Amino acid sequence: MKKIEYQLFNFKNHQYIIAGNDDSLQFIGSWDKGVTELTSFFPDYQIIEVKKGLEKYQDQLKEYFNHQRTTFTMPLEFNGTDFQKAVWKQLLEIPYGQTRNYTQIAQAIGRPNSVRAVGSAIGKNPLLIVVPCHRVLTKDNRLGGYRGGLEMKQALLQLEKN
């Protein structure tokens, strides 16, 4: 059975779960959702809470939240289909403080007729914040959906505007 390690990460009145190992980060959870969100992404994994070992990922997230970092340099591991991975990798190309829409993402990955599938893949992004799905809006610049909830999405967009 595969294993994934996680830690609880508290910052600015919210708790996040981050998960991975020494080699890569594999998951960042939504505000205050707890371990059930992690298990829904990794149902066939043994999930192990650790007290140490994932701090290097927490440090970069803290820097981001404190306006000291606009890009992440941590190694990431994507667990998903080839299509999902293509979408998530395209999200990494959206610069800090900018947004794109679902149609633009579909076009960028060479699948212009797959806008709904792109939306579905974005909704399954296991690496919130680092893979910036919060930067994707609807074609008419509305927030659309967000796994972490619209309040979290709005807060991340606002953070990047300041």
Give the span between the Cα atoms of 64 and 72, in whole angstroms: 8
133 is catalytic: yes
Give the span between the Cα atoms of 67 and 89, in whole angstroms: 23
**Which listed residue (127, 133, 136, 156) is catalytic?**
133
Give the span between the Cα atoms of 51 and 40, in whole angstroms: 22
The set of residues, in sequence order, having a beta carbon less than 8 Å from that of 156 and lying 6+ positions away, is: 129, 132, 134
The catalytic residue positions are 133
